[in-house]
Structure 1
Amino acid sequence: MILYPAIDLKDGQAVRLVHGDMDQTTVFNDNPAAQALAFQDAGCEWLHLVDLNGAFAGEPVNAAPVEQILEQCSVPAQLGGGIRDMATIEAWISKGLARVILGTVAVENPDLVREASRAFPGKIAVGLDARNGRVATRGWAEETDIMVTDLAKSFEDDGVAAIIYTDINRDGAMGGPNIDATEALARSVSIPVIASGGVSSMDDLTALKATGVISGAISGRALYDGAIDLGAALSALAD
């Protein structure tokens, strides 16, 4: 199971939110590229980047720090937030992004997900963010009646590289991930599922890995707060 250290970008800084609330922000580093290099030096295999402002604006806002990370780091990175058309997808991949995460458009324009997956095999992930099993979009500000599992299954045969499942009620709250829901999703589709939201301890990582079906986990606040030691976690997950 791969551990993805998260760098959430707001106003050019690396931050964490609580429950996706832009008004509940903690700044952890005003130099996101330096933070990315620290994660890389600790041995991470991937980086998970989110343009929080972009998610609300519907277009890239924190492009500059993302580009700095791509220029300075050698490990692959995935990015979500404000990516809602093919031109933006193409631009990010041309700049060296390993994987683009499509969230809102997976609901509003699922054909774009399919088109992008065909055009860029292995480079398109779908971000499914949910409250109580129902998908939320536009920076989690809008809730839908679409069930996560139903939407995930609709992309089953389209070449999507991964599904990133975030339980919004767990995100940033250090209360543990929704393992049952994440495992159920992973067992319902053949697409690799990455857990996000609430991953706050080694016990959480061990429990996610023990399911045998969850391919990765994203963690942010726990790494910044020291609740998870990145080097130790990477070693444990590699065993």
Structure 2
Amino acid sequence: MTAHDWLLDVADSTLPGDVANPVTLAFAGGTAASGTAPCNTYRGTVVLEGDDGVRIEAIATTLMSCEPALMAAEREYLDALAQVRTADTRDPDRLALTSGGVRLSFTAIDARELIVGDWALTGVRTGAGIQSMVEGTEPVARVTADADVVVETGCNTLRTTWEIDGRTIVVEQPAGTSMNCEEPAGVMDQEAAIAAALTAASTIAITPATLTLLDDAGDIVLTAQRA
């Protein structure tokens, strides 16, 4: 289970509602699970029992509030995850978690492949929590397969490199141009927050459509959507 991150296959799962946003699951060392739910990120404790027994306990999430349909889908997924008792790992590219009438089916994903491309930044950590991008700016991170990152912040251009091992990500201290932009208001603070978030990142949660970077404490520092 720890060889891959996993993306929920909604069509092969038993969730009753519509899961509009991608849902992921990852295991660390056979003792911890984490991922992205329809709205929040989550983590829990893994208990392994015998050859195929598994339970995910003490599930906790971040506290973002989304539209009612997403919150309902999140509750359904996390409730189902807490009921899981068996893991089918016979296919190395698929994972099925089951219990009675519950089935959560996942396909393997590779963060090193998915991260390549352009990402529109949607949120960054500041002293007040996760803030949306300053109106009038459209920051974009362009990530290459050669491990380069170029970030158009809305003022300057930052350049850095990335390295991913499983769900662990290391982003080097960015260097960039040195313009001082007065407009739109707040763009320089946003740029500083983006640079700080990149270097604070230690964990990546990624789907084909969304990217979330988290720090050592498991707190979100940066969010993005596929551009």
Q: TM-score range by the shorter chain?
A: under 0.3
TM-score, normalised on structure 2? 0.27
Q: Which has the higher helix share?
A: 1
Point out which structure has higher relative CO (alpha carbons under 8 A, 6+ apart): 1
Larger radius of gyration: 2
TM-score, normalised on structure 1? 0.26
